[in-house]
Amino acid sequence: MAAIMESGVGPETPPPPPPDQPKSRNRFSGYLLILPGAIWLLVFFVVPLYSLVATSLYDPTGSVIDGYTMTWHFDNYVSALQDFWQPLLRSLVYSGIATALCLAIGYPLAYAIAFKAGRWKNLMLVLVIAPFFTSFLIRTLSWKLILSDNGVIVSTLQWLHILGADGRLLNTPVAVITGLTYNFLPFMVLPLYASLEKIDHRLIEAAGDLYASPIRGFAKVTFPLSLPGVVAGTLLTFIPAAGDYINAKLLGSPNERMVGNVIQNLFTDANDYPAAGALSVILMLLIVVMVMTYIRRAGTEELV
């Protein structure tokens, strides 16, 4: 995403692709440059994933004080699924809906910035990332006020009889999904913009010259060409949303708790590390499987 932000807010016309980067043939200096960072990532990202899997197989009868013993206790996974399938499913459903909403409102925004904004392009891009300048938690807290029981939105919806007289938004799935959609929208808009921006306008004009209506031209030319952005944006929205527990905690009730809330509680309050580890691994595996199938499907659709 950083690369996208960088390229997006940079100069309007990117310089022509420079000739091949000079590659130093000195292997030694290459290793010297990459090793410190690579070791950091290995020790503090890759090795921890191993510790997480190990933790998930510890004997659940141990405790932090007595220490855990490794017993290859695969039952941890079974009981984690049995106890927490609901929050797990809820996470996938909530973040799935939030991702779809982000796509629905993010696509027109990205399209407008890429094709209609003209000299306002950079300003609009800054406006897209500007809400990020304040803290995630504080932004989420302001939704608590916006959706509160005596707030404008709830009273309007009550007036329109969409909500009952004692109906509320706070502490409902609607509030949690609203928060997720809001907080991850820029993750959708920026990759979409980056891929829409790259589209050669002559292709769209050619569709028009060949008597395609604007809608058909969009469906057959613009949208397929923006698919890489759709895939990237969907993943960048879905993955963090599925692991998030801030929105569920601040805007929802215990009935809306997501898998992140459970993992966090198991680690910090219940001190049940094996169960927390198992649940974390399950979440990671689910996401990997979903992402792989999604990329494969999106890839084949692109070819058709």
Contact positions with other proteins (CB under 8 A) in 181-200:
182, 185-186
8-state DSSP, 168: -
**Which residue has tokens 């996938």?**
92
Q: For the window 59-78, what string marks contact with other proteins as x by the rule CB under 8 A? A: -----x--------------
Q: For the CB of residue 268, give the shortest distance to other proteins in the complex, in Å.
A: 7
205: contact with other proteins by CB under 8 A: no
Q: Which two tokens stand for residue 90?
A: 């809820």
8-state DSSP, 22: P
Q: How far apart are CA 259 and CA 148, in angstroms?
A: 25
Contact region for other proteins (CB under 8 A) — 155-163, 204-212, 242-250, 293-301?
242-250
Q: Which two tokens stand for residue 208?
A: 């028009």
Among 98, 190, 242, 248, binds other proteins (CB under 8 A): 242
In the complex with other proteins, which residue's Cβ is closer, 163 or 262?
Answer: 262
Q: How far apart are CA 262 and CA 264, in angstroms?
A: 5
245: contact with other proteins by CB under 8 A: yes
Q: How far apart are CA 17 and CA 197, in angstroms?
A: 16
Total residues contacting other proteins by CB under 8 A comes to 103
Query: Which 107-166 residues touch other proteins, going by CB under 8 A?
Result: 108-109, 111-113, 115-117, 122, 124, 126-139, 141-146, 148, 150
Q: Which two tokens stand for residue 273?
A: 């590390």
In the complex with other proteins, which residue's Cβ is closer, 145 or 303?
Answer: 145
Q: How far apart are CA 162 and CA 151, in angstroms?
A: 15
**Which residue has tokens 């680690």?**
267
Burial class (CB in 10 A: 0-12, 13-18, 19+), 247: buried
Contact region for other proteins (CB under 8 A) — 41-49, 71-79, 198-206, 294-302?
41-49
Contact region for other proteins (CB under 8 A) — 7-15, 161-169, 198-206, 295-303?
7-15
